[in-house]
């Protein structure tokens, strides 16, 4: 078939398909030219270099997203007021709509959020799209009655960042959908058990246990692994790659370069890319378990504002790692159990930390999970600011939400 000229409207779907299948790093001119039956020179003529192409794709996807938001505005224009529980149900439906009927675009957005922390220029390109989403949440939460004492739009904007990436991977699981529904209800009823949601804590325990029973096809070992000296020296570099740039960045060449070892040496100890990823995830899980203990023992909420250099892995790095796992699980089904387990454990750390301040049983693990998803979303959302600023943003959000909890319990 003869190659043809390409129009700007021709490239969005094949480009989003490439990102969905292989990650944002796979979006390069030559494979896209092959998918659109054109030439690299034609793409360059129309869209410029790779950064110009990405800017165009973001703009086009953003326009489609605005149409999606407009559809929801029209649907709700005759509904000036929403109760907290009705608001939670509407938002639950919107998030489900994003990740089912608009999966490719939502996945592209999540890939950009992850890349904004480590790929120069992506954060600037993404700002207008983030602004559109924040405006949508602001317009929607303006219908909340009674209104909240904090900025629920900012909180929801952060919450949706973390929740959406897990929904992309886990939406097919009824237990996950129930966890999302229950955490959203808590967000809008003040993070404490409300009379109208008295059974939510019991439902939470049921679905928390159920989602933890998924068979782990990837075989991630949650216990301390037995590693030889060479493997121990390498595994930290693998997990750091996952934290900083996502699972798709973990290749033998990248790890060998970071660890300063020969590619043949690396391949001897970790034969496949799957072996590398598994070892990195196991290292992250062990560090996460240590983080829970450290937070309980000495840190409190101050753990969120420490500089990364003061500890092997900080809360911000754990947050970014679990986001990366969920994102990769959208194209690697063998990671679903790992992503689901990390999602259900949202809030364990914070419940351990904050239960000393809030011993009232109405502040339960479900409340802590709702708070934690918002805080982790803020960490990821603020990734381009650097570790310290992102940690401070999350700490500020936790403090604001803790104030709301204090008020509800008084």
Q: Is the peptide bond between 318 and the residue preceding it cis, with omega within 30 degrees of 0?
A: no
pLDDT value at residue 90: 97
292: pLDDT strictly greater than 70: no
20 pLDDT exceeds 90? no
Does residue 132 surpass a pLDDT of 70?
yes
> Cα 30 to the chain's mean position, in Å?
29
SS3 248: helix
**Percentage of the chain modeled with pLDDT above 90:** 43
Confidence at residue 159, expressed as pLDDT on a 0 to 100 scale: 97
pLDDT at position 226, please? Answer: 64
The CATH number given to whatever domain includes residue 5 is 1.10.10
C-alpha to C-alpha distances, 163 to 158, 239, 293, 323, nearest whole angstrom? 9, 22, 25, 9
- Confirm whether 22 is domain-assigned: yes
For the stretch 195-244, pLDDT in tens is 656 689 899 999 999 999 998 776 666 555 667 777 878 988 998 888 87
- Domain assignment of residue 335, yes or no: no
Point out which residues pair with 82 in neighbouring strands. 144
**Per the domain annotation, does 23 fall within a domain?**
yes
Provide the domain count of the chain: 1
Count CA within 13 A, CB hemisphere, residue 100: 10
Query: In the predicted model, what is the mean pLDDT of the chain?
Result: 85
Per the domain annotation, does 12 fall within a domain?
Answer: yes
Q: Which of 48-52, 98-102, 374-378, 383-387 has the lowest mean pLDDT?
A: 383-387
With respect to residue 93, please indicate whether it lies within any of the assigned structural domains. Answer: no
SS3 379: helix
Does the pLDDT at position 311 exceed 50?
no
Above pLDDT 70, what percent of the chain?
Answer: 87
Residue 19 lies in a domain: yes
* Residue entry with tokens 């929607």: 140
> Is residue 125 in a domain?
no
In a domain, 20, yes or no: yes
Class of residue 49 by CB neighbours under 10 A (exposed 0-12, middle 13-18, buried 19+): exposed
Dump the DSSP string for 256-318.
HHHHT--HHHHHHHS-SHHHHHHHHHHHHHHHHHHHHHHIIIIIGGGGGSS-GGGSSS-HHHH
| CA 332 and chain centroid, separation | 16
> What's the domain range around 7?
1-48
Q: What whole-number distance in Å separates Cα of residue 381 and Cα of residue 406? A: 26
């Amino acid at each position: 078939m003869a190659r043809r000229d390409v129009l700007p409207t021709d490239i969005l779907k094949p480009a989003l398909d490439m990102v969905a299948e292989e990650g944002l790093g796979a979006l390069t001119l030559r494979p896209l030219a092959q998918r659109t039956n054109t030439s690299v020179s034609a793409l360059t003529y129309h869209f410029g270099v790779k950064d110009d192409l990405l800017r165009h794709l973001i703009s086009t996807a953003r326009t489609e997203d605005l149409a999606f938001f407009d559809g929801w505005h029209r649907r709700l224009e005759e509904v000036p007021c929403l109760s907290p529980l009705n608001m939670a149900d509407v938002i639950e439906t919107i998030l489900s709509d994003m990740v089912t009927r608009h999966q490719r675009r939502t996945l592209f957005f999540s890939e950009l959020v992850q890349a904004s922390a480590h790929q120069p220029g992506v954060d600037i390109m993404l700002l207008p799209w983030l602004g559109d989403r924040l405006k949508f949440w602001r317009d929607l939460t303006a219908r909340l009655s009674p209104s909240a004492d904090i900025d629920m739009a900012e909180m929801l904007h952060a919450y949706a960042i973390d929740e959406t990436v897990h929904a992309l991977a886990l939406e097919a699981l009824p237990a996950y959908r129930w966890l999302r529904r229950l955490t959203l209800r808590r967000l809008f009823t003040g993070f404490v058990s409300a009379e109208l949601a008295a059974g939510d804590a019991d439902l939470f325990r049921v679905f928390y246990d159920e989602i933890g029973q998924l068979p782990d096809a990837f075989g991630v070992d949650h216990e301390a692994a037995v590693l030889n000296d060479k493997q121990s020296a390498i595994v930290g570099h693998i997990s750091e790659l996952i934290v900083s740039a996502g699972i798709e960045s973990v290749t033998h060449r990248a790890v060998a370069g970071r660890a300063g070892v020969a590619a043949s040496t690396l391949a001897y100890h970790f034969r496949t890319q799957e072996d590398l990823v598994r070892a990195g995830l196991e290292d992250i899980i062990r560090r996460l378990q240590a983080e829970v203990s450290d937070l309980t023992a000495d840190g409190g909420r101050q753990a969120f504002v420490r500089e990364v250099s003061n500890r092997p892995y900080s809360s911000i790095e754990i947050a970014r790692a679990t986001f990366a796992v969920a994102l990769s699980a959208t194209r690697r089904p063998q990671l679903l159990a790992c992503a689901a387990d990390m999602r259900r454990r949202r809030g364990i750390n914070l419940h351990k930390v904050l239960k000393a301040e809030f011993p009232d049983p109405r502040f339960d693990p479900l409340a802590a999970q709702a708070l934690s998803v918002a805080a982790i979303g803020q960490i990821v959302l603020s990734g381009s600011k650097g570790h310290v600023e992102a940690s401070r943003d999350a700490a500020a959000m936790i403090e604001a939400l803790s104030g709301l909890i204090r008020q509800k319990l008084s």
